[in-house]
Amino acid sequence: MSKEKLKANIWAFVVTAILARLITLGSGNLDRFDAALVPYTFATLFAVFGITRRYALWLHRPPTAMYWTRGWKVFLLLLHPRHVGSNAILFLRRLIAHYAFNDFIWRRGRMRWLAHWCIMWGCVIAVAITIPLVCGWIDFRSEADNLEWYRVLVFGYPTVAFPIRSLVGFLTFHGLVWSSFLVIFGVLLALRRRLSDHGAAALQQFGEDLLPLFLLFAISVTGLMLTASYTWMKGYGYDFLAILHAITVIFTLLWLPFGKFFHIFQRSATVGVAFYQDVGKQGEQAKCRRCGNEFASRMHVEDLITVEKQLGYRYEMPDSPVEHYQWICPRCRRALLGLAQGVLWNESQAQG
């Protein structure tokens, strides 16, 4: 096993162990743990192991490692007392625009945005409800003096109470129903695009693009069928549906570290990248060593040179004042391609 994989395994083991300990702590040594949810709990633990392992391996890639290191340095710069207030506001603004509203997807296309926004918020609500339940961190107990009231226990500590037969109770206990509606609507919109758009059809892959949609659809529909079974059908087929639902959820949890779902964890890098670019703009700029125009931040170009060397590329130009091809702007690179071919033809004609 390579050093990187060993490190990634250790990280994955440590994070999974921390979660396992949090489960025993939060559920009062499994006292408040719902035994019916055991398969989900183990699937969650496996998913956390897989996600952490893949994340650690991803961070080890030279370009990712460079951004990871630079990102933390930039973060420390942002904490400078003179700028910390404005940076915190900018950070929050970006966080809300990017993650809560998906503004960049809105600009890519309205229907694409609607599909993603519904799927995302449906999943966020569902995860926020189920993970604390699956880990035994949240529990509902009847009040001792009034069985019509539930009190919410978080990590065993009593918090708010509400009447079971109330609007709050109805909305709370049907949280997964609302999230299912959002997910199903979003998935149908996404599938419609994937089935009708020539460009998407040419590029999409089953495991990467379609399977996640099918899985989310299957979870939502089987979940709704469970609700329908116990609400209107006196529990008809409930056991079968419960197993079917568990299979879809567990498969999805185990699939999280692979394929498209992993972007949920990767996209955290966008905020760091935005601040990296901000700092770059404020610093010295790189000038093209052919045309003299500024084309990027000097920090970015120097970081890329380091990364390219780590990757084994040899764009160095030791006999030239240019030193490294990375110091040539993209426009000049394109022009050079035409010039180089022209020179070959000139030489050919000169030599007869």
Partner 1 sequence: MFLLDQNEFFIDPARCIGCQACVQACSECDTHKGHAMIHLEYVDRGQSTQTVPVVCMHCESPTCAEVCPADAIKKTEDGVVQSARKPRCVACNNCVLACPFGVPKMITDFELMMKCDLCYDRTSAGKKPMCATVCPSGALFYGPRPEIDQLRPRSKPMNQFQFGRQTITTKVHMMAPTGPVKAQYLDVTEVMNENGPRQRIALDILSNLYASEDGV
Nearer to partner 1, 107 or 174 (CB): 107
* Separation CA 136–CA 27 (nearest Å): 5
Instruction: Give 269-319 as a DSSP string.
Output: HHHHHHHHHHHHHHSPEEE-TTT--EEEEHHHHHHHHHHHHHHT---EETT
Answer for which of 66, 133, 164, 254 binds partner 1 (CB under 8 A) is 66
Separation of CA 240 from chain center: 32
Q: Smallest gap, in angstroms, from Cβ of residue 351 to partner 1?
A: 4
- Cβ(286)–Cβ(303) below 8 Å: no
State the burial class of residue 214 (Cβ atoms within 10 Å of its Cβ: 0-12, 13-18, 19+).
middle
Identify which range of 23-31, 62-70, 138-146, 165-173 contacts partner 1 by CB under 8 A: 62-70
Query: Rounded to the nearest whole angstrom, what is the least distance from the CB of residue 285 to partner 1 in the complex?
Result: 13
The residue among 66, 74, 109, 106 whose CA lies nearest residue 90 is: 74
Minimum CB separation from partner 1 for residue 178, in Å? 24
Size of the site for partner 1 (CB under 8 A): 68
Please, which residue, 136 or 257, has the CB nearer to partner 1?
257
Residues recorded for the chain: 352
Residues 87-146 that bind partner 1 (CB under 8 A): 104, 107-108
Smallest separation, CB 133 to partner 1 (Å) = 28
Find the part of the chain contacting partner 1 (CB under 8 A) among 86-94, 176-184, 241-249, 294-302: 294-302
Question: Are 164 and 143 spatial neighbours (Cβ–Cβ below 8 Å)?
Answer: no
Q: Which of residues 248-287 bind partner 1 (CB under 8 A)?
A: 260, 263, 266-267, 269-270, 273, 276-277
How many CB atoms within 10 Å of residue 47? 20
CB 34 within 8 A of CB 244: no
In the complex, least distance from residue 188 CB atom to partner 1, rounded to whole angstroms? 19
String marking each residue 19-58 x if it binds partner 1 according to CB under 8 A: ---------------------------------------x
Contact predicate 114/108, CB 8 Å: no
Q: Which amino acid is at 174?
A: H
Given candidates 31, 143, 197, 284, which one binds partner 1 under the rule CB under 8 A? Answer: 197
Binding mask 323-342 for partner 1 (x = CB under 8 A): -xxx-xxxxxxxxxxxxxxx
Q: How far apart are CA 181 and CA 121, in angstroms?
A: 11
Please, which residue, 225 or 269, has the CB nearer to partner 1?
269
Q: What residues contact 341, with CB distance under 8 A and at least 6 apart?
A: none
- Please report, as ranges, the residues that interact with partner 1 according to CB under 8 A: 58, 61, 63-64, 66-67, 104, 107-108, 197-199, 201-203, 208, 260, 263, 266-267, 269-270, 273, 276-277, 290, 295-296, 300-301, 304, 307-308, 311, 313-318, 320, 322, 324-326, 328-348, 351-352
